[in-house]
Amino acid sequence: MRLSVLGPPGSGKSTQARRISEVCGLAHIYPGELLRLEAQSDSPLARRIREYLDAGQLVPSDIVFYLVEREITHSFDRFVLDGFPRTMTQVLELEFLLSKRNAKLNALILLEVSRNEIMRRLLARGRPDDTQDIIERRIDIFRRETDAVIQFYRQAGILSVVDGEGTPDSVTRRILSALGIESAPPIIHVKETKNTKHISP
């Protein structure tokens, strides 16, 4: 199964992508995290990435794809992409990579959350790029850049729009149900991490 989870900042996409990866046994490929890790070194590449991250702007696709391609290649049949593809350039890069092996994405999950709820969640989270101005910019960039990506996968017939509000458990259930895997093992086995709260049966 090859999945992608998209959503505006604060939509809970990474929490949900991680849960889905654990429930379904998929590699969790998270460019935002790969970029933050890469940005910690002292190389020219790291400095370049930091400029974009600190400004809340999208990192150029060649850098992102360089990090993501290797991960996809390692887990070609079983992955969930977290926040990728976010632009049409990235769609084309991904589709080309998959088509070389006659493969396709099976589903793209779009998490929908209201702007007020996004602000409430992100100001509580407090990552360095979670100030009010930068959040506003990241929401605008998401709407501007990612709309074409959503339309592309809607036309391809694999888009599922899922309500991202409510408890993390209820959102996970909605996603599994959209994927047609209600009969998956109970999600009480999902591992506890910093971003996943306790899941009641």
Interacting residues toward ligand AMP by CB under 6 A: 9, 31-32, 35, 52-53, 56-59, 64, 83-84, 86, 90, 138
What are the E-state strand segments in the chain?
A: 2-6, 27-29, 79-82, 107-112, 159-163
Instruction: Provide the minimum distance between the beta carbon of 189 and ligand AMP in the complex, in angstroms, as a whole number.
Output: 25
- Taking the alpha carbons at both ends of the chain, their separation in whole angstroms is 25
Q: Which of residues 107 and 135 has its CB atom nearest to ligand AMP in the complex? A: 135
Instruction: Provide the minimum distance between the beta carbon of 154 and ligand AMP in the complex, in angstroms, as a whole number.
Output: 19
Q: Which of residues 148 and 189 has its CB atom nearest to ligand AMP in the complex? A: 148
3-state helix, strand, coil in the chain (%, to 5): 55, 10, 35
Q: Which of residues 26 and 59 has its CB atom nearest to ligand AMP in the complex? A: 59
- Can you say how many angstroms the Cα of residue 78 is from the centroid of all Cα atoms in its chain? 15
Instruction: Provide the minimum distance between the beta carbon of 201 and ligand AMP in the complex, in angstroms, as a whole number.
Output: 30
Q: Which of residues 53 and 176 has its CB atom nearest to ligand AMP in the complex? A: 53
**Which residue is at the shortest CB distance from ligand AMP?**
32
Helix (H, G, I), strand (E, B), or coil: what is residue 197? Answer: coil
Do 161 and 174 touch, CB atoms closer than 8 A? Answer: no
CA distance 3 to 81: 6
Instruction: Provide the minimum distance between the beta carbon of 137 and ligand AMP in the complex, in angstroms, as a whole number.
Output: 9
Q: Which of residues 135 and 176 has its CB atom nearest to ligand AMP in the complex? A: 135
